[in-house]
Structure 1
Amino acid sequence: MALCVLLLITGFFTLVSGLSLRYYFVNESKTWTDAQSYCREKYGGLATVPTMEDMNRLVALVNGSFNGSAWIGLHNVINPWRWSEDDSNPGGPAAVTYFNWYSGRPLDGQCVWKLKPLYSGLWSDVGCNVAQHFICHDARPEALNPYVRIALYMNFTDAQSYCRQHYTDLATARDQTEDAVIGSYQSSNHLYIGLYRTSTLTWADGNNSTFRFWGAGHPHLYQGAPYCTSTSISDSGRWTDQLCTDTLPFVCHTVQTDPVVGMRVRFRTWRNLSDSEIQDMVSQKIKQQLVGGGLPNDITVAVRQVIKRSP
């Protein structure tokens, strides 16, 4: 005859909710970099805005006392130069060690021309949207020549697509010898080669939130230039990208741990349960109470068993 056991579990479970941000408006005009230094010294850093709820709280804080634009912590980080042909490398792009820049270059461009012979075939960074002739690398077995100069005006992206469709890719010059060979195909026009760089939008504190709240026409995505983000209070807090050397007021933040919440759960069962079954039942009970309290249905609850031993 099976033995039926009443198992009564009652416990007090301690929960700590996520971290929250508290914002502070500083009505002093500084560059983005100086504002970040100030915020790190006085608070926690320039404001990170990971959700629309946070955005609304920030606007509510500033609104009424200020109606312009203020720096927040989002900025772009310029990535290293890379060759277009390396995009398909499983191990990622190789480091670029050879450059042949014209005097004073590079500036803020993200793509590169090999300048016409009048400028000795030196390189210049340019905006990738500018249309220009280009040169393709042809590594196909049937290729008659390793390079093909294309006398069509295209921006970098279209030139790259053209070379990949008809040949191999935009030309690569990893050393002086390859650069000189490419130069032998040049005429009176500048030529796009395959060197380019990208930029990555990053929060100053390393937060990986992908929330964005751009105003109409933004971001401009300045070609290769470091740019930073401001929030326009008069436009409901929508964001504008602008040069980091501009001077604006700014918003700082500190990170706070929400108060500890205690919860008591209780249930009965008429059979023996394994530890894992007990933990699952406790997790479900806690989740029901949390969702009932207004948290989203997709929250994850984990229960950890802690055994206290007497000394």
Structure 2
Amino acid sequence: MHLILLLSGLSFQFSHGLQPQFAFFQTPKTWSEAQSICREQCFDLATINDMREMKIVLEAVGDKYDDAVWIGLLKGTTPRWHWSLADDDFYKEGERNYLLWSSINVNYNCPFFKDGKLNMVSCEYQRYSVCFDARQQGADRYILNTRRMVWTAARDFCRAHYTDLTSLRNDAEYQIVQQVANGSEVYVGLFRDPWEWSDQTDSSFRYWNPDEPVWTDSTQTCVAMLKVNSGKWGDRACTETHPFVCDCRNKLSFIKLRISPQDSMLDLSNPSVQADILEQMSQKLKTNNTTAVFHLNWRKKSDGTIFTKEP
């Protein structure tokens, strides 16, 4: 007998290369109310992927709020590693998770780089850092910042003067940064936090106000743009009522599917298997509709699982 599994949900959207469109709703709502309205009228609460989109949101909101504006970021339950430079096109398969550790401490969230390896440290320690400049070529893209800063200040410095803190995607990049650091302990763009986007996308872009820690247990659950910090983000109680920004670029659709594996040994919790299923479905959709571009993602449940076995 084959196992019959019910997927918790498969999301897809149609993309025609449109400029991201963010809609600002001025009527104050709680975070959950804002989420419901955005999902009904647009796509979801706004997910922001990079500084270009952040500037679009800042222009859309302008000066038309008094205190705070909800976006789609909220605290999850599991801290995860991210790179500050969030552009998906910047990373090949496996490069986001190519992490060479010298030491790991679960109490810290901002690694520093030294002698070819990553080491855990508090984000509040002041260190040199290495910036990345996408406008340059080769080793010139990696710049040593010899001003000692906490991690968030180093990130903001690199974004203001270059592109971002550097990522470490492969052996070659580790070697270049080692040469640039010249024996110093330097911050790179890696950080850990539990924040998740409402639409389940994996954007690692963060635009916290200067006083916001990378992550502590004491932070509130939902995130808003703060007027006092010129639109930079801060955590707020989700029950507060504020205006909000929706992402209206595309409409999100959810499909429930049943899968009967022909191979009883197939591990449907394996990310590679899940990716293969999405690829097969994508090819099928393209066969039926050659004009649209489909972006398929599994919608995970709160415990991180995708599949549920039917009784």
| Band of TM-score, shorter chain | 0.3 to 0.5
Q: Please say which structure displays the higher CA radius of gyration.
A: 1
TM-score under structure 1 length normalisation: 0.36
